[in-house]
Structure 1
């Protein structure tokens, strides 16, 4: 028997929350943006009126203003977004305990066990939309289907404030004519590659030989074939299941471009310190390191490497990130944004066995002791109470890296 899965996606979440306190902006194009003075000059969210002008998430304020000169900008309040996200998910839990958040403004719900209590999947989705609108003053779009992928695509199909049902009988009619770029998990680079081979629509993807797709895209090709044909069987996580952390990262857009080796070292040290402290807080270690670099012209590269042994030691994460950057970037070329991410996470206790015979065991123990001492001081006196000397009094804007100023909602 098929499951009944709902995907709920808030409409212009950040902007909608801001409008609750700013009703004077309700009937004008508005957007939530970063701080241009700190070079966080991008659009984080926009309302429907701004969307009609072509304003899109993640574009620069300059570009958005060019499209819509009267665009009203509001600074983000992430504490509010987290609060409302919790309130919204609390509504979902009234209908099922199988709720899996996908981002701050999206969640999957498996309501298969709730149908006798509340009605069909569409009826439950409509009840949720009405409840969130009445109690919180916010709107959402919902997709209802027999698997997670089609439920997600259903919530994108009609916006704002709508419910779309995608079934085994109608998914070919609704989804297959759509451009291949509309397929969930197909990014711009993958879409371009598929289009070069004549795969222009989701239907083209679904009707292409699976092994051909695997040859073209590797494992992702087979996955996309299954998704386009409605073969996804991934479950919605139960509310009491702890979500497995897959990576821990931190990044920042700097107040000025990184121009020297010293700038890069200062930035990487601060980012590595934050990543390593978070890993220790989660009792995890990273088996690999990934860096993302963006230049002033918004060209971005990503590089990653496996480590000899898993680590959550600041100095080891920093050294690996710096070596990776030197191998993939011309020192002296300006850097606008830099991100360091620990990947391939393993349990801290389990990983001890993997690194027990490390040649530098004594050095690692001393470094671990130093990191834990800093953790203890920060826990008692605050996150900014102690840091590395080279980070002090910098002019790069990396003194408050624990604040994710550029968090963006997932939206079209």
Structure 2
């Protein structure tokens, strides 16, 4: 059976590149996209290559970035533009495959196995996409080409900007194995530190390690990472149309202890709503309704729903309605065992933008959206635990869980 051909496409310095594309006078300047510099708590969401030469990195404070580069041009976010360009790039992808799995606005996996007879091999397709993105949209992209998703992602990171990298069965031992183990997808800082503790510093050393020893160190993820390092990954690339046809997006949590008060419920509902909102924005959808699922300690289930006008993808608004449903419909005769929040009646975000502008609260909504988008960026890059609400520290046991997603 022939190998698959998987691409991972990563738009270079995406937010900053869109800002420079829309304002060419910034092209020869160090540029960072961020929040309110005067408030002294804004962070860098993206930096162009000139800014990166000064050591400026995503997620550092604007104040710190300014110290490194006094001439840094800091521009505010324009998420409507980022979404518009992201959709335009995906339309290019769709000319080559329907198997497109976005990881964020600027990254996506593509399975072009079935397109090779029409458009050429993986490298040819990747180079064609890279050229079209540059010529049609004025942006650059780095693309990794391989026989699985893990190595394709490594390829897009290997050479930047504006490049195509091939990791094949013939060259991956030479090109992939010498890389730091932390470059491998799903190996975070904590996992890399554990591996370093047993002398594993490169992907090749991970590939040569004993899977049983890795399982003792990392649990079930140990043998999985061993497979990944050896090029064994059959994870499919999802069909893009299926993502757009989602009817609802929700999370449900069985809490580690009984939920006895509205304050306890808040600790559970906030992470639920933030996760649902993050996924709504990733899908480019807004929720026209929110449903609250409640199961008490006697396993009796209660479900309540309300409509949202206008539709939203903000965690703050999902939380407001979920909290309201709980207050109106649950009498606290028994503690709660499980809570769930589901966003339903989904509509494309660009179809509700006019309603938001006419609502009279656009400025306030825009402020909250900028905050939540900044959180999205940090979580996409550094994991879901990168940013957490201070209220979650009030009861670490109750708030320190991992949500179980369901679509």
Q: Is TM (by shorter chain) over 0.5?
A: yes
What corresponds to 2:138 in structure 1? 137
Q: Does 1:125 align with 2:126?
A: yes
* TM-score (norm: length of structure 2): 0.69
- Asked whether the equivalents of residues 287 and 306 of structure 1 are also in contact (C-alpha less than 8 Å), the reply is no
How far has the Cα of 1:39 moved from its partner? 5.6
Query: Where do 5+ consecutive residues of structure 2 fail to align?
Result: 280-288, 325-363, 383-407
Is this contact kept in 2: 1:45–1:408, CA < 8 A?
Answer: no
Q: How does 1:338-357 map to 2 (within 5 A)?
A: 340-341=274-275, 355=295
Deviations 1:77-115 (A, max 9, x none): 000000000000000011111111111101111111111
Compute the RMSD of aligned alpha carbons: 4.0
Q: Distance in 1 between matches of 2:268 and 2:243?
A: 34
Aligned length: 325
CA drift of 1:161 comes to 0.4
Q: CA deviation at 1:177?
A: 0.8
> Whole-Å Cα distance in 2 between the matches of residues 318 and 205 of structure 1?
45
Unpaired stretches in structure 1, ≥5 consecutive residues: 246-281, 290-304, 310-314, 326-336, 392-396
Cα displacement string for residues 134-158 of structure 1 (whole angstroms, at most 9, x for unaligned residues): 0000000011100011011101100
1:408 to 342, 360, 377: 377
2:148 is aligned with 1:203: no
Please say if 1:4 is aligned against 2:27: no
Kept after mapping to 2: 8 A contact 1:288/1:306: no
The answer to whether 1:32 aligns with 2:1 is no
Cα gap change, 1:234 to 1:33, in 2 (>3 Å): same
164-173 or 39-48, which deviates more: 39-48
Give the Å deviation of 1:175: 1.1
Change (3 A) 1:112 1:69: same
Matched with 1:322 is: 267
Corresponding position: 1:286 with 2:287: no
Shift in CA distance, 65/376, structure 1 to aligned 2, threshold 3 Å: closer
Structure 1 residue 50, shift from structure 2 partner: 1.0
Q: Aligned runs of 1:3-152 on 2, under 5 Å?
A: 3-38=4-39, 40-152=41-153
- The alpha-carbon distance between structure 1 residues 323 and 23, as it changes in their structure 2 partners (threshold 3 A), is closer
CA displacement, residues 207-247 of structure 1 (integer Å, 9 cap, x when unaligned): 111111111111221221111110010011122323798xx
The alpha carbon displacement at 1:11 in A equals: 0.5
Kept after mapping to 2: 8 A contact 1:288/1:307: no
Aligned to 1:219: 220
| Matches of 1:40 and 1:68, distance apart in 2 | 17
Is residue 176–residue 204 contact of structure 1 (8 Å, CA) maintained in 2?
A: yes
Shift of 1:408: 2.2
Distance 1:338 1:31 in 2: 31
Q: Secondary structure at the match of 2:154?
A: helix
Question: Which residues in structure 2 correspond to 1:138-287 (within 5 Å)?
Answer: 138-242=139-243, 283=248, 286-287=251-252
Instruction: Give, in whole Å, the separation in 1 of the partners of 2:101 and 2:263.
Output: 33
- Could you give the per-residue CA deviations for residues 56-80 of structure 1, whole angstroms, max 9, x where no partner exists? 1111112222222221111110000
**SS of corresponding position for 1:240:** helix
- Residue 275 of structure 1 aligns with which residue? none
* Cα distance change of structure 1 residues 402 and 76 upon mapping to structure 2, 3 Å threshold: closer
Residues 299-338 of structure 1: matches in 2 within 5 Å? 305-306=255-256, 319-322=264-267
| Aligned equivalent of 1:302 | none
1:145/1:317 CA distance change after superposition, 3 Å = farther
Corresponding residue SS for 1:198: coil
| Structure 1 residue 43: Cα displacement | 0.5
Q: CA–CA distance in 2 between the matches of 1:229 and 1:359?
A: 45
Cα deviation for residue 322 of structure 1 reads 3.2
Classify the secondary structure of the residue corresponding to 1:237.
coil
CA distance in 2, matches of 1:103, 1:231: 24
Q: Distance in 2 between matches of 1:318 and 1:39?
A: 31
The verdict on how the C-alpha distance between 1:200 and 1:241 changes in structure 2, with shifts beyond 3 A counting, is same
- Mapped to 1, the partners of 2:308 and 2:205 lie a distance apart of 56
Q: 1:173 to 1:181 in 2, by over 3 A?
A: same
1-side partners of 2:156 and 2:167: how far apart? 10
Please give the secondary structure, in 2, of the residue aligned with 1:103. coil
Partner of 2:331: none
Partner of 1:272: none
